[in-house]
């Protein structure tokens, strides 16, 4: 449900001229709801930014999300799978 | 890995039959300038509230569509998780609220020059909304208008 909610809010932000990127934990739901830009993460619910107390791994997720926003050639809906850095 | 199989049987049954709302057409705002000049807002669906804010209302049928404003300089250890769902492990967010609302990470992105600035306020929803009519009709447009008035260029949305 959280995945759908952020997608619906993102769509409204885009209509107001704000570029968005949604993290997503359920690829199936991202494919159905179609947020404008989505980064699918292979993490459990409750852990969208990877590991608690690990700024480096959290930044890796954020950087991947920011790179989606920077993709000038992309067309909506954009859904990309996250590749976590090796531990 | 996130899948329906993480959830108890009654959730799985519900989710498999649920009519997911399809965004169509998909709106799209291209980035108008480099991220280093952009203003970033965070939007979380983890039901986080500040000590002086009302918790999200778990009794509302179809889900509580309201949102809370979280000032950009908030200490994440002050945030309280009031998300009603028992379908996921809340322990990670209890240990580090940056996992759902990465306030400290966002400040570090500004300090590094990767992002220009942060919104005055970030937004917190509780994502357990099975009937999203009011979210789409009322609170999402209100949230968008607030962020637009704060000159936000980019938003990162984080589900749990």
The DSSP secondary structure of chain A, one letter per residue, reads -HHHHHHHHHHHHHHTT-EEEEEES-HHHHHHH--SEEEE----TT-TTSSTT-HHHHHHHHHHHHHHHH-TT--SSEEEE--PPP-
Please report which confidence band the pLDDT of residue B16 belongs to, taking 50, 70 and 90 as the band edges.
confident
A–B CB contacts, 8 A cutoff, strictly below = 225
What does pTM read for this prediction?
0.96
pLDDT in tens, B84-135: 898 899 999 999 999 999 999 999 999 999 999 999 999 999 998 999 999 9
Using the predicted structure, report yes or no on whether residue B62 has a pLDDT greater than 80.
yes
The DSSP secondary structure of B72-85, one letter per residue, reads TT--GGG-EE----
> What pLDDT score was predicted for residue B64?
96
Query: Which residue did the predictor score with more confidence, B40 or B84?
Result: B40
Determine the Cα–Cα distance for residues B76 and B92; give it in Å rounded to an integer: 13
Chain A residues in contact with B148 (beta carbon < 8 A): 16-18
Query: Domain spans of chain A?
Result: 2-81
Shortest Cα–Cα distance, B158 to chain A (Å): 5
Which residues, at least 6 apart from B9, have a Cβ–Cβ distance to it below 8 Å? Answer: none
Chain A residues in contact with B155 (beta carbon < 8 A): 10, 13, 18-21
- In this prediction, the residues of chain A whose per-residue pLDDT falls under 70 are 87
Q: Establish whether this prediction's ipTM goes over 0.85.
A: yes
Determine the Cα–Cα distance for residues B89 and B35; give it in Å rounded to an integer: 33
> What pLDDT score was predicted for residue A23?
98
Shortest Cα–Cα distance, B52 to chain A (Å): 24
Structure tokens at B34: 């480099």
CB contact under 8 A, B31 and A22: no
Q: In the predicted model, what is the mean pLDDT of chain B?
A: 95
Chain A residues in contact with B46 (beta carbon < 8 A): 2
């Amino acid at each position: 449900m959280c995945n759908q909610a952020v997608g619906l809010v993102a769509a409204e932000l885009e209509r107001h001229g704000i570029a968005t990127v949604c993290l997503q934990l359920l690829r199936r739901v991202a494919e159905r709801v179609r947020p404008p830009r989505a980064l699918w993460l292979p993490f459990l619910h409750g852990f969208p930014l990877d590991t608690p107390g690990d700024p480096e791994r959290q930044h890796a997720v954020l950087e991947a999300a920011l790179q989606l926003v920077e993709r000038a050639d992309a067309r909506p809906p954009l859904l990309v799978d996250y590749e976590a850095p090796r531990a | 890995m996130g899948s329906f199989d993480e959830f108890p049987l009654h959730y799985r049954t519900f989710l498999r039959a649920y009519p997911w709302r399809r965004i169509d057409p998909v709106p799209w705002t291209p980035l108008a300038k480099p991220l280093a000049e952009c203003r970033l807002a965070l939007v979380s669906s983890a039901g986080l509230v500040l000590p002086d804010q009302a918790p999200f209302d778990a009794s509302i049928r179809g889900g509580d569509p309201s949102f809370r404003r979280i000032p950009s300089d908030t200490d994440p250890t002050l945030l309280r998780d009031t998300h009603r769902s028992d379908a996921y492990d809340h322990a990670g967010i209890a240990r580090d609220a940056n996992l759902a609302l990465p306030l400290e990470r966002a400040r570090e992105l500004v300090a590094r020059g990767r992002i220009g600035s942060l919104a005055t306020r970030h937004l917190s929803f509780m994502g357990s909304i099975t009937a999203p009519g009011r979210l789409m009709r009322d609170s999402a447009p209100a949230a968008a208008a607030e962020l637009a008035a704060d000159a936000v260029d980019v938003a990162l949305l984080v589900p749990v």
